[in-house]
């Protein structure tokens, strides 16, 4: 009986270790120690509208139904964004980024390219990570990944 139980446990362990981690398999790119910045102070709605309509991805034109209207938007640093194509043909456009800072995790859709070395975000997202309206301080130490 103990031998059968050992075999069953072994088979289950192999099956579990072979099970795909779908979250990890769908990652396009990721990073650590990234800076976060605020796109625009004040009401996040105008900033969201700007990123949605005139951001490099052209979400309103090229991805009109791809992004949940309640999803925060970000602009990715040029050093990351530019590796995946130009403007609306960029493979990161409308993809979901998951960001974590000091134990807080939030998601946003990629809408634009930031010429600086930080993930630029709307005020609602900025505040979720501890930023304050009117405070342009860079938040250090984001870990992040972008999934399909």
The domain segmentation of the chain, as residue ranges, is 25-147
Q: Specify the fold of 25-147.
A: Barwin-like endoglucanases (2.40.40)
How high does pLDDT run on average in the chain? 86
Query: What's the pLDDT score for residue 135?
Result: 86
The string of pLDDT tens digits covering residues 14-39 is 334 344 444 556 999 999 999 999 99
Exposed, middle or buried, 71 (CB in 10 Å: 0-12/13-18/19+)?
middle
Question: Whose CA is closest to 88, among 54, 136, 127, 119?
Answer: 54
Q: Which two tokens stand for residue 88?
A: 């609306």
In the block, residue with structure tokens 């809408």: 111
pLDDT > 90: what percent of the chain?
A: 75
Phi-psi sector, 87: left (phi>0), alpha (psi -120 to 50), beta: left
pLDDT band at 10 (very low <50, low <70, confident <90, very high): very low
Residue pointed to by tokens 């796109």:
39
Which residue, chain included where needed, has tokens 């709307």? 122
Mean pLDDT of 30-59: 94
Tokens of 133: 């309206």
pLDDT of residue 2: 53
Instruction: Kindly report, residue by residue over 117-134, the tens digit of the pLDDT.
Output: 999 999 999 999 999 998
CA distances, 62 to each of 18, 57, 114, 144 (Å): 38, 8, 19, 25
Residue 47 pLDDT exceeds 80: yes
């Amino acid at each position: 009986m103990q031998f059968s139980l050992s075999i069953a446990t072994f088979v289950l362990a192999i099956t579990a270790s072979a099970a795909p981690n779908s979250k990890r398999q769908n990652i396009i790119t990721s990073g650590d120690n990234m800076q976060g910045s605020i796109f625009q102070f004040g009401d996040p709605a105008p900033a969201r509208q700007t990123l949605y309509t005139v951001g490099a991805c052209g979400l309103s034109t090229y991805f009109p139904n791809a992004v949940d209207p309640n999803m925060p938007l970000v602009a990715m640093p040029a050093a990351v964004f530019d590796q995946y194509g130009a403007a609306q043909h960029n493979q990161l456009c409308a993809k979901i980024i998951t960001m974590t800072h000091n134990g807080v995790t939030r998601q946003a859709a990629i809408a634009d390219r930031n010429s600086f070395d930080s993930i630029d975000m709307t005020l609602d997202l900025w505040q979720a990570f501890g930023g304050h309206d009117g405070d342009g301080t860079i938040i250090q130490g984001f870990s992040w990944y972008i999934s399909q």
